[in-house]
């Protein structure tokens, strides 16, 4: 997909299963849907340096992969990713059943960013990296679009409306979280993202340690810690714990476990009291309040 500084909308993968449209100057929407019958010609090539990509994945945020019938592994991921198009290859978005993309020209997004003075923040060289769980407003919007039939005369209007809405919500979130980072090196950013993705795959185990992560990123520990925090607004450790507890919540509700202790053990929390305490710290309620017992 990424050929030098050019990106073409994923033609190879998306062939016969995607819908592409220019929403307004500087804003393009792409729907990748494997149930889509009609093929839309995709030969749009844009200069990656000029765009941000916002990627929304509706498939389950936590994959449960069964290995050998007995061992189970969890692959957690964030449903919403915004990056410079040049950095897109740092993420390998799964072309699952359904995903929604916005391609946003940098000058357009810059127009909607508030600086600390309240005025628009100018300059096109700012890096934006934003990965998150999808907010419910955006999710509902895209879910609604998903129920639409591509052959309906109203589909184009609906896609236009949805894209603008999703873009508006994105603008709000970026402004709330002050995600404009100034100029960051592409390589550094990609390396940091790589470690974040790694962390998401290791949620059952213990925190791999800053030394290891920094080594993985090819940076000094202090540089790694600083950069990670700058991009994701929290330390690697607290990011890891938060995601671990998100997974814990999913598992508690899944109905696949007989006791809360089993869930704790699955995630490597051997002291029930500690698990309950940090869980309550994040969600404001005890694991027992959401736990669904295995009915088998």
Partner 1 sequence: MKEVIYRFGVETDWVEELAVNLGGFVRGNFIIVPDDILTGTYYTLQISENITVMLVDVIYHQDVLYKVRNIKNDFAGIYFNLTEGDLVHVMDDISRSVGRWNYNLAITDSQLDIDFVIKSGSKSYGISLFLKKHILREYLSKTGILDEVLNRVFDQKQNTLLHYAHMSSNSWHIINEFRKSTPGSISFNLLLSGLAYNLLADCLDNIMKREIMISKVLRTDLAMILNSQTSLIKKQEGIFPGITSLAAEANMSATKYKKLYKKITGQTPNAFFLNNKLELARDLLGSGQYTIRELAEKLNFTSTSHLSEQFKSYFGMSPKEYAASL
For partner 1, which is the closer residue by CB, 111 or 242? 111
- For residue 157, state whether it binds partner 1 (rule: CB under 8 A): yes
Closest approach, Cβ 52 to partner 1, in A, equals 15
**DSSP output for 177-211:** HT-B-----HHHHHHHHHHHHHHHHTTTS----HH
For partner 1, which is the closer residue by CB, 127 or 162? 162
The contacts of residue 164 (CB under 8 Å, 6+ apart) are 23, 24, 27
Closest approach, Cβ 142 to partner 1, in A, equals 13
Closest approach, Cβ 167 to partner 1, in A, equals 6
Measured in Å, how far apart are the chain's first and last C-alpha atoms? Answer: 46
For partner 1, which is the closer residue by CB, 40 or 164? 164
Q: Specify the stretch interacting with partner 1 by CB under 8 A; choose among 65-73, 151-159, 224-232, 250-258.
A: 151-159
Q: What CA–CA distance (Å, rounded) separates 137 from 42?
A: 29
91: tokens are 């993420």
Q: Specify the stretch interacting with partner 1 by CB under 8 A; choose among 128-136, 153-161, 182-190, 246-254.
A: 153-161
Are 65 and 73 in contact, with CB atoms under 8 Å apart?
yes
Q: Specify the stretch interacting with partner 1 by CB under 8 A; choose among 56-64, 157-165, 181-189, 232-240.
A: 157-165
Q: What CA–CA distance (Å, rounded) separates 195 from 218?
A: 10
Are 233 and 131 in contact, with CB atoms under 8 Å apart?
no
- For residue 6, state whether it binds partner 1 (rule: CB under 8 A): no
- For residue 153, state whether it binds partner 1 (rule: CB under 8 A): yes
The 10 Å CB-count burial string (b at 16+, else e) for 205-232 is eebbebeebbeebebeeeebbebbeebb
Closest approach, Cβ 112 to partner 1, in A, equals 6
Among 1, 97, 114, 210, binds partner 1 (CB under 8 A): 114
Of residues 15 through 44, those in contact with partner 1 by CB under 8 A are 24
In this structure, the number of other CB atoms found within 10 A of the CB of residue 119 comes to: 9
Query: What DSSP state is assigned to residue 52?
Result: E
Chain mean position to CA 160 = 22
- For residue 126, state whether it binds partner 1 (rule: CB under 8 A): no
Compute CA distances 48 → 7, 235, 263, whole Å: 6, 29, 43
Of residues 200 through 259, those in contact with partner 1 by CB under 8 A are none
Radius of gyration in angstroms for the set of CA atoms belonging to the chain, rounded to a whole number? 20
Among 1, 11, 112, 230, binds partner 1 (CB under 8 A): 112
- For residue 131, state whether it binds partner 1 (rule: CB under 8 A): no
Of residues 158 through 177, those in contact with partner 1 by CB under 8 A are 158, 160-165, 167-169, 171-172, 175
Count the site residues for partner 1 by CB under 8 A: 21
For partner 1, which is the closer residue by CB, 40 or 114? 114
Query: Residues 87, 89, 95, CA angle at the centre, nearest 5°?
Result: 130
- Dmax (CA) for the chain in angstroms is 59
Q: Specify the stretch interacting with partner 1 by CB under 8 A; choose among 156-164, 178-186, 217-225, 265-273.
A: 156-164
Could you list the residues that contact partner 1 (CB under 8 A)?
24, 112, 114, 152-155, 157-158, 160-165, 167-169, 171-172, 175
């Amino acid at each position: 997909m990424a050929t030098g500084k050019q990106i073409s909308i994923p033609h190879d993968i998306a062939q016969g299963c995607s819908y592409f449209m220019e929403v307004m100057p500087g804003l393009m929407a792409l729907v990748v849907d494997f149930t889509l019958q009609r093929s839309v010609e995709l030969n749009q090539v844009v200069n990656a340096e000029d765009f941000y990509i916002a990627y929304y994945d509706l498939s389950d945020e936590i994959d449960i992969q069964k290995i050998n019938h007995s061992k189970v592994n969890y692959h957690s991921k964030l449903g919403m990713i915004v990056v410079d198009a040049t950095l897109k290859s740092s993420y390998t978005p799964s072309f699952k059943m359904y995903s929604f993309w916005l391609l946003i020209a940098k000058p357009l997004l810059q127009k909607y960013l508030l600086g600390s003075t309240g005025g628009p923040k100018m300059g096109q060289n700012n890096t934006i990296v934003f990965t998150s769980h999808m907010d419910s407003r955006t999710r509902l919007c895209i879910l609604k679009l998903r129920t639409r039939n591509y052959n309906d005369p109203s589909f184009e209007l609906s896609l236009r409306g949805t894209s603008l809405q999703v873009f508006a919500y994105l603008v709000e979130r970026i402004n709330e979280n002050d995600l404009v980072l100034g100029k960051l090196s592409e390589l550094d950013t990609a390396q940091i993202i790589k470690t974040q993705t790694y962390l998401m795959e290791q949620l059952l185990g213990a925190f791999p340690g800053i030394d290891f992560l920094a080594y993985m990123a090819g940076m000094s520990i202090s540089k790694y810690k600083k950069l990670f925090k700058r991009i994701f607004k929290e330390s690697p450790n607290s990011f890891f714990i938060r995601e671990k507890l998100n997974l814990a919540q999913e598992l508690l509700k899944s109905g696949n476990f007989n006791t809360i202790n089993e869930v704790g053990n699955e995630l490597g929390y051997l002291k029930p009291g500690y698990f309950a305490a940090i869980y309550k710290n994040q969600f404001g309620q005890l694991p027992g309040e959401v736990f669904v017992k295995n009915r088998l």
